[in-house]
Amino acid sequence: MKIDGPAYGDLKLERLADGGSAKPHPYGEPTQPKAGRQPRHFVYYASVDGEKNRNAIRSPWQKFHEPFSATLLRNGIIALVVGAIIARFWGGIANWPLATLVALWPSLGGHYVETWFLNGLRPRLPISRPVLLVMRITVWFVGGIGLVFAMGLTARALAPAKPMHWTAWWIGGTSFIGLELAAHLVLQLWGRPSFYNGKG
């Protein structure tokens, strides 16, 4: 299937599915796939006045993927730790299971907000670092607002007798931005692709 892609200079791009390997990009190379796994990405074909140029301009972004078991294990551990901290303010260890379930929203839910940006939105954006930075922060902000409301609804549904204080919507958005920046800082310090080096 052919889909119109973003603008690249004075050329109109058409996005086609392709199975080759991604080329380097001035804003960083995507991570390499595991041995034996063919990377998934898109190829953009430039066309001027309706005539397709045979020289493909490859999108530098590979499709992010990891086994669900690894995603659940990592974010489940994070939710357990955060839930233990929240439970101290909710009356003790008896509230740890509920607090852990609520904490799964920013940990596991936040993972899928990031995955949606990487696999759903980023391949459709212009290959421009300022645009990518602004759009990523915007996705984090809007995603954080949704996550904080989901946390409040979950807590109220499972513990209706417990008084819940709704966090201001903008606090949820800015807090999620802070969490993502901190997580990407750890990746940066480990030499991994991250928000800061433009590779992740």
Phi and psi for 12 in degrees, rounded to 5? -90, 135
Same domain, 153 and 83: yes
Q: In the chain, which ranges are E strands?
A: 3-8, 11-18, 41-48, 51-58
pLDDT at residue 23 above 70?
no
pLDDT at residue 134 above 70?
yes
pLDDT tens readout for residues 63-86: 888 899 999 999 999 999 999 998
pLDDT for position 160: 66
Say which residue the tokens 């991994």 belong to: 192
DSSP alpha helix (H) spans, 94-166:
96-104, 110-116, 129-158
Same domain, 175 and 140: yes
Distance in angstroms (rounded) separating the CA atoms of residues 62 and 115:
12
Same domain, 97 and 177: yes
Domain range spanning residue 164?
68-189
Count Cβ neighbours within 10 Å for each residue of 30-47 and write b for 16 or more, e otherwise: beeeeeeeebbbbbbbbe
In a domain, 197, yes or no: no
What strands, in cross-sheet order, belong to the sheet with 3-8? 3-8, 11-18, 41-48, 51-58
pLDDT for position 170: 86
